[in-house]
């Protein structure tokens, strides 16, 4: 294993001239796919532990959401064609004479969490769940058998810390709009929310796409009044969280004269043809950040024991976050690469880049001790993952 610690000479992200940051909220079709995949991984893991005493090999990290079709009108509407989740992956289908009811688990699990996450969707009525899950190859199943699990894949994990003001604002605004308190204040706000944040110098522009729920809006006039009220509400929120100038635009495609509005029956665009897929949305830190290091790895749905495509992203973010708790380190990036078949605690390379005034000896000692702690703890991460303690999308 090679450990490379580098003092970067680039400007910290918060000091750059511009940033672009995106977050897809909990009702966005891509986020729904990430959640579907991860919930299946958790459900299968728990079933395996209950029946067989340990988590068995699986990777359910390919999930497609085929959007439905709806007829929506002011004051109501209905879903005409159901949404369809197609889960694709590998999992142990049987152990000895004990068959694992993968399809039944997938259907019940998906309907359960969807019913909680989307207030106005009726999963049993409006969602079809299909599975294309087969047993994994013998070599990948064998990675579970070592005392220290062996890497399921040759994968990249990336993390950085801390969030900039723009990144925090984008993340917190979506969390705010999808919070129980806001849903109580404005039940008209659906769960499908996407926020694009652009900062140029000291000005942030937030473009918010927000699915509004038709049953609460009896007319076009009411729609635009509600949107104005929500805009004022959001502006109050963002002003408390940044000293920068912020412009907020909600549902930018609306056109009063052409009767174009973002209205839904269920609170998600998935009801009317918008599709989703695992890995097209937020990275493992909850954001899409093209100005920061990212990987195309989809953490959701990968097994929590051996798949470094999940574990290394969590560890890279953990290392970066702990490094920046040191007052001498203002910003950190961490990159890890596994090699299939090697112990998960022994990546090929750990590359840490930090903004710091520490001496070379001090930063080497500080970084290496934190790296070692997080790598050593990796075989225990699965327990927290099953309890949903970690952000994955």
For 69-85, the pLDDT digits (tens) are 999 999 999 999 999 99
Neighbouring C-beta atoms of residue 112, cutoff 10 Å: 13
For residue 19, cis peptide bond before it (omega within 30 degrees of 0): no
DSSP-derived secondary structure letter, 136: P
Query: Mean pLDDT throughout 256-283?
Result: 95
Per-residue pLDDT at 59: 96
Q: Which CATH number characterizes residue 291's domain?
A: 3.30.300.280
* Per-residue CA distances from 205 to 117, 170, 198, 227, 248 (Å): 28, 10, 5, 17, 6
User: Percentage of the chain with pLDDT > 70?
Assistant: 100
**Residue 327: both structure tokens together:** 């007052």
128 within some domain: yes
| CA pair distance 191, 177, nearest whole angstrom | 8
Per-residue pLDDT at 109: 98
Q: What are phi and psi of 136, to 5 degrees?
A: -75, 170
- Summarised one tens digit per residue, pLDDT across range 364-374 is 999 999 999 99
Query: Mean pLDDT throughout 150-155?
Result: 96
Per-residue pLDDT at 9: 82
Name the residue with tokens 């064998």: 142
Per-residue pLDDT at 10: 82
Give the residue from 161, 134, 167, 126 showing the smallest Cα distance to 32.
126
- Summarised one tens digit per residue, pLDDT across range 211-259 is 999 999 999 999 999 999 999 999 999 999 999 999 999 999 999 999 9
Per-residue pLDDT at 144: 78
Whether residue 373 sits in one domain with residue 363: yes
Per-residue pLDDT at 380: 97
- Summarised one tens digit per residue, pLDDT across range 303-314 is 999 999 999 999
Give the residue from 352, 74, 90, 336 showing the smallest Cα distance to 212.
74
Whether residue 304 sits in one domain with residue 272: no
146 within some domain: no
Per-residue pLDDT at 273: 80
- Summarised one tens digit per residue, pLDDT across range 19-63 is 999 999 999 999 999 999 999 999 999 999 999 999 999 999 999
Whether residue 292 sits in one domain with residue 158: yes
Q: Which CATH number characterizes residue 48's domain?
A: 3.30.300.10
Per-residue pLDDT at 143: 76
Whether residue 180 sits in one domain with residue 127: no
Per-residue pLDDT at 137: 79
Per-residue pLDDT at 145: 74
Coil, helix or strand at residue 232 = helix
354 within some domain: yes
Per-residue pLDDT at 325: 97
Virtual CA dihedral for 167, 385, 118, 29, nearest 10 degrees?
60
Whether residue 304 sits in one domain with residue 264: no
For residue 120, what are the domain limits? 29-136
20 within some domain: no
Give the residue from 275, 266, 273 showing the smallest Cα distance to 33.
275
Whether residue 296 sits in one domain with residue 355: yes
Q: Look at residue 141 and tell me whether its pLDDT is greater than 90.
A: no
The region that residue 333 occupies, defined by phi over 0 for left and psi between -120 and 50 for alpha, beta otherwise, is beta
Per-residue pLDDT at 354: 97
327 within some domain: yes
- Summarised one tens digit per residue, pLDDT across range 108-129 is 999 999 999 999 999 999 999 9
Whether residue 300 sits in one domain with residue 266: no
147 within some domain: no
Beta carbons within 8 Å of 351's beta carbon, 6+ residues apart? 4, 6, 334, 335, 336
156, β-bridge pairs: 337
Q: Which of 276, 301, 333 is the last residue of a domain?
A: 276
Whether residue 286 sits in one domain with residue 158: yes
Whether residue 258 sits in one domain with residue 299: no
Whether residue 286 sits in one domain with residue 265: no
Query: Mean pLDDT throughout 264-290?
Result: 96
Per-residue pLDDT at 67: 97
204 within some domain: yes
* Per-residue CA distances from 82 to 121, 125, 129, 148, 189 (Å): 10, 8, 10, 44, 21
| CA pair distance 238, 135, nearest whole angstrom | 48
Per-residue pLDDT at 142: 72
Q: How confident is the model at residue 136 (pLDDT cuts 50, 70, 90)?
A: confident
Q: How confident is the model at residue 1 (pLDDT cuts 50, 70, 90)?
A: confident
Per-residue pLDDT at 164: 97
Q: How confident is the model at residue 263 (pLDDT cuts 50, 70, 90)?
A: very high
| CA pair distance 155, 65, nearest whole angstrom | 25
Whether residue 201 sits in one domain with residue 76: no
DSSP conformation letters of 94-127:
EETTEE--HHHHHHHHHHHHHHHH-TT--HHHHE
Whether residue 285 sits in one domain with residue 254: no
65, β-bridge pairs: 85, 276
> Mean pLDDT for the chain?
96
């Amino acid at each position: 294993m090679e450990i490379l610690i580098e003092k970067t000479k680039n400007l910290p992200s918060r000091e750059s001239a511009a940033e672009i940051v995106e977050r897809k909220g909990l009702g966005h079709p891509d986020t729904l796919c990430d959640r579907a995949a991860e919930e299946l991984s958790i459900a299968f893991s728990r079933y395996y532990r209950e029946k067989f005493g340990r988590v068995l090999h699986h990777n359910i990290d390919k999930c497609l959401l085929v959007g439905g079709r709806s007829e929506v009108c002011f004051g109501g509407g209905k879903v005409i064609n159901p949404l369809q989740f197609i889960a694709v992956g590998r999992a142990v289908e049987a152990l000895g004479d004990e068959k694992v009811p993968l399809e039944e688990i997938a259907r019940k699990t998906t309907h359960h969490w969807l019913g909680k996450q989307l207030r106005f969707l009726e999963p049993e009525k409006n969602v079809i769940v299909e599975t294309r899950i087969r047993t994994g190859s013998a070599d990948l199943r064998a990675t579970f058998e070592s005392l220290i699990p062996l890497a399921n894949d040759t994968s990249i994990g990336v993390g950085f810390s801390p969030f900039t003001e723009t990144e925090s604002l984008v993340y917190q605004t979506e969390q705010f709009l999808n919070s129980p308190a806001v849903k109580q204040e404005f039940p008209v706000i659906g769960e499908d929310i996407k926020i694009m944040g652009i900062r140029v110098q000291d000005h942030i522009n937030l473009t918010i796409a927000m699915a509004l729920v038709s049953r609460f809006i009896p007319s076009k006039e009411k729609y635009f009044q509600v949107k104005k009220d929500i805009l004022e509400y959001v502006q109050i929120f963002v002003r408390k969280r940044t000293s920068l100038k912020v412009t907020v635009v909600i549902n930018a495609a609306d056109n009063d004269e052409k009767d174009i509005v973002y209205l839904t029956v269920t609170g998600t665009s998935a009801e009317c043809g918008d599709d989703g897929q695992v890995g097209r949305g937020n990275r493992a830190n909850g954001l899409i950040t093209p100005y920061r290091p990212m990987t195309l790895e989809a953490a959701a749905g990968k097994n929590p024991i051996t798949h470094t495509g999940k574990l290394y992203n969590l560890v890279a973010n953990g290392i970066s976050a702990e490094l920046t708790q040191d007052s001498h380190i203002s910003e950190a990036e961490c990159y890890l690469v596994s090699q299939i078949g090697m112990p998960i605690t022994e990546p090929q390379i750990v590359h840490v880049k930090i903004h710091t005034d520490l001496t070379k000896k001090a930063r080497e000692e500080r970084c290496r001790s934190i790296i070692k702690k997080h790598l050593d703890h990796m075989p225990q991460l699965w327990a927290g993952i099953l309890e949903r303690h970690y952000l994955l999308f």
